[in-house]
Amino acid sequence: MSDTRPPSVDSLAGSLTQSGLPHPLLVDAAREAIAAGDPSSALRRAEARARTQLRPVVNATGVLLHTNLGRAPVAHSQLAEAQNLELSLATGKRGSRQATVGPLLAKACQAEAAIVVNNCAAAVLLALAALASGRAVSVSRGELVEIGGGFRVPDVLAQSGAELVEVGTTNRTRLADFSGAAAKHDIAVALQVHQSNYRITGFTEAVSVSQLSTLDAPVVVDIGSGLLDAACPWLDGPPPTWLSGEPAAKQTLQAGAALVIFSGDKLLGGPQAGIIAGKAELVKRCESHPLARALRPGGLVLGSLQQTVLSYLKRDGQAIPFWKMASADPQDIQRRANSIAAKLADGVEVVETKAVPGGGTLPSITIPSFGLRLPGDHLEALRSGEPPIIGRIEDGCTYLDLRSVDPGNDQLVLSALLRLSTDGSQADPAGPTTP
């Protein structure tokens, strides 16, 4: 009878070291396997657990800023060294962590000053708390938006301690609506929010930043996506046509905004961060508000963002992974796709695709691209390889769009597709089993 006794948790855990997990997690896997009456499942459980850890993946979805894949890809390495995070090397005295990257960002969008917080939602919260707590903020009814992931303008506004004054209607808001609100309420800020992930079309009217700035209250604009300059001087050619109409920090300030607020990891192409840029006096008020401490970024983020902003100032868009992907010539992408397909068996086709900027920016905008199409649903097989390759499904076919893949990773895509073709058991080539 002794050979039917389950193994001890410890000895089973000790046999799972190939999964690379630390011992306490192996013990969990062993315990679960034994409790399920299936000790032989322990390694599979440990491996599944290991795959919940953060790791690099290949984004072949064609969504350049994929929120589930960390939005903008950024390269950053930092040695285990001390950093002059809050020390002025000029005076030897304590400085501010906002004195390093903020001024670079201000330079890049021609603002008087800028500071960095954890994300754009935090930046909006801080700006409204610092400038409008206990007073009123006017917002067009067409801009009381939800951006996804729970960022709802009325809710953030309430958290800031400011009172929302809704102005105009969903589709049409005029300057007179704002001046009417100013006559009745103590308006501390006129807030404009970029609609980001949706559009109102048809019988519409909106108030421009330059019109708004003729009123008394400072105009704060949440442009969301973080395009620094509509002229895109960091690119070799003219700005891509798909960007047209996207608000940019520099031009929004030039139009009269007192502050612009934007994300670090959308069109800016940097790490997750939120930026407040504009009039020095207002930026200072944000910086000295007690919430600023709670919302401040760490040295890792500032180091990474500094690298991104220096690339902008050097006009080197190719050094920013997002702009490198976004500006790639479709013909070059097609050549890459051809060279992968040439090494694969028939059945994998090179096809024209439509990539999208993603990240809640530029809805209904597509960027011409090329990719590989395979009959059948191979998403899971590709996802379970190392590194995981993330594709998309359309009409029962698997698509790998190469615009969102760094050319340096083409070899990984090829190897994964070769593995697929040698392991026919991984997927049903006739098509997906579920519609």
- Binding residues for ligand PLP, rule: CB under 6 A, are 119-121, 147, 151, 193-194, 196, 222, 224-225, 263, 274, 360
Nearest residue to 341 (alpha-carbon basis) of 263, 421, 403? 421
* Comparison of 194 and 378: residue with beta carbon closer to ligand PLP: 194
The minimum distance between CB 378 and ligand PLP, in angstroms, equals 31
* Comparison of 207 and 348: residue with beta carbon closer to ligand PLP: 207
* Comparison of 113 and 120: residue with beta carbon closer to ligand PLP: 120
Contact 300, 69 (CB under 8 A): no
Q: Residue 73: count other Cβ atoms within 10 Å of its Cβ.
A: 20
Contact 157, 139 (CB under 8 A): yes
The minimum distance between CB 64 and ligand PLP, in angstroms, equals 15
* Comparison of 194 and 403: residue with beta carbon closer to ligand PLP: 194
* Comparison of 263 and 311: residue with beta carbon closer to ligand PLP: 263
Beta-bridge partner residues of 286: none
The minimum distance between CB 110 and ligand PLP, in angstroms, equals 21
- Cα–Cα distance for residue pair 345/269, rounded to 1 Å: 36
The minimum distance between CB 124 and ligand PLP, in angstroms, equals 6
Q: Indicate the pairing of strand 349-358 with strand 219-224.
A: unpaired
Q: Indicate the pairing of strand 136-140 with strand 187-193.
A: parallel
The minimum distance between CB 415 and ligand PLP, in angstroms, equals 34
* Comparison of 12 and 220: residue with beta carbon closer to ligand PLP: 220
The minimum distance between CB 345 and ligand PLP, in angstroms, equals 42
* Comparison of 120 and 217: residue with beta carbon closer to ligand PLP: 120
Report CA-CA distances (Å) from 213 to 125, 253, 280, 398. Answer: 21, 10, 17, 49
Report CA-CA distances (Å) from 98 to 15, 95, 160, 304. Answer: 50, 9, 22, 14
Alpha-carbon 170 to chain mean position: 27
Q: Nearest residue by C-beta to ligand PLP?
A: 224
- Cα–Cα distance for residue pair 167/176, rounded to 1 Å: 10
The minimum distance between CB 224 and ligand PLP, in angstroms, equals 2
